[in-house]
Copies of this chain bind each other. A is one copy, B any other.
Amino acid sequence: MEASEFRRRGKEMVDYIADYLEGVEGRQVYPDVKPGYLRPLIPSTAPQEPERFEDIINDIEKIIMPGVTHWHSPYFFAYFPTASSYPSMLADMLCGAIGCVGFSWAASPACTELETVMMDWLGKMLELPEAFLAGKASQGGGVIQGSASEATLVALLAARSKVTHQLQATSPELTQGAIMEKLVAYSSDQAHSSVERAALIGGVKLKAIPSDGNFSMRASALREAMEQDKAAGLIPFFVVATLGTTSCCSFDSLLEVGPICNQEGMWLHIDAAYAGSAFICPEFRYLLNGVEFADSFNFNPHKWLLVNFDCSTMWVKKRTDLTEAFKTDPVYLKHSHQDSGLITDYRHWQIPLGRRFRSLKMWFVFRMYGVKGLQAHIRKHVQLSHEFESLVCQDPRFEICAEVILGLVCFRLKGSNQLNEALLEKINSTKKIHLVPCCLQDKFVLRFVLCSRTVESAHVQQAWQHIRELADSLLRAEKE
Contact = CB atoms under 8 A, between A and B. Distances in A.
Interface of A: 1-7, 9-11, 13-18, 20-22, 31, 33-39, 42, 44-51, 53, 55-56, 60, 63-72, 79, 82-90, 92-94, 96-101, 105-111, 113-114, 116-117, 120-122, 124-125, 146-150, 153, 157, 175-178, 180-182, 192-194, 196-197, 200-203, 246-247, 302, 308-310, 325-326, 328-333, 337, 340, 342-343, 351-354, 356, 360, 363-364, 366-373, 436-439, 447
- Scoring A10, A116, A149, A364 by chain B CB atoms within 10 A of each residue's CB, the highest score goes to A10
B181 A175 contact: yes
Nearest 5 CB-CB pairs, A to B?
A177-B181, A67-B110, A10-B14, A147-B352, A38-B113
Given A47-B366, A48-B370, A84-B96, 19 more contacts: A4-B18, A6-B89, A21-B97, A33-B109, A39-B113, A56-B363, A64-B114, A69-B107, A82-B99, A93-B93, A149-B352, A153-B351, A175-B181, A177-B178, A177-B181, A177-B203, A202-B203, A309-B356, A331-B438
A353 B368 CA distance: 29
A139 B457 CA distance: 48
A438 B333 CA distance: 9
A89 B96 contact: yes
Contacts of A192: 330
A48 B371 contact: yes
B101 A46 contact: no
A68 B97 CA distance: 12
Contacts of A181: 175-178
Interface SS, A side: helix
A370 B86 CA distance: 32
Given A147-B352, A246-B332, A438-B331, A99 B79 contact: no
B367 A17 contact: no
Contacts of A438: 331-332
A2 B181 CA distance: 54
Nearest to A329: B193
28 contacts: A2-B86, A6-B14, A6-B17, A6-B86, A10-B86, A10-B93, A16-B97, A20-B97, A45-B121, A46-B125, A47-B370, A48-B372, A49-B372, A50-B369, A56-B368, A67-B111, A68-B100, A71-B101, A82-B100, A84-B97, A146-B146, A176-B203, A177-B182, A180-B180, A180-B203, A193-B353, A197-B328, A246-B332
A283 B330 CA distance: 31
- Scoring A49, A147, A325, A360 by chain B CB atoms within 10 A of each residue's CB, the highest score goes to A147
Contacts of A153: 351
Nearest to A344: B35
Q: How many chain copies does the complex carry? A: 2
A282 to B, nearest CB: 13
Nearest to A15: B7
A435 to B, nearest CB: 10
Nearest to A50: B370
Contact of A22 (B3, B109, B201, B202): B3
A169 to B, nearest CB: 18
B89 A97 contact: yes
Contacts of A121: 44-46
A16 B97 CA distance: 9
Contacts of A98: 20, 64, 68, 71
A308 B70 CA distance: 24
A439 B352 CA distance: 23
A401 B181 CA distance: 46
A46 to B, nearest CB: 4
A346 to B, nearest CB: 13
A323 B100 CA distance: 32
Contacts of A17: 6, 10, 93-94, 96-97
Contacts of A82: 99-101, 354
A37 B197 contact: no
A246 B194 contact: no
B367 A50 contact: yes
Contacts of A72: 99
A368 B13 CA distance: 15
Nearest to A151: B352
Contact of A109 (B37, B96, B329): B37
Contacts of A37: 109, 113
Contacts of A9: 86, 90
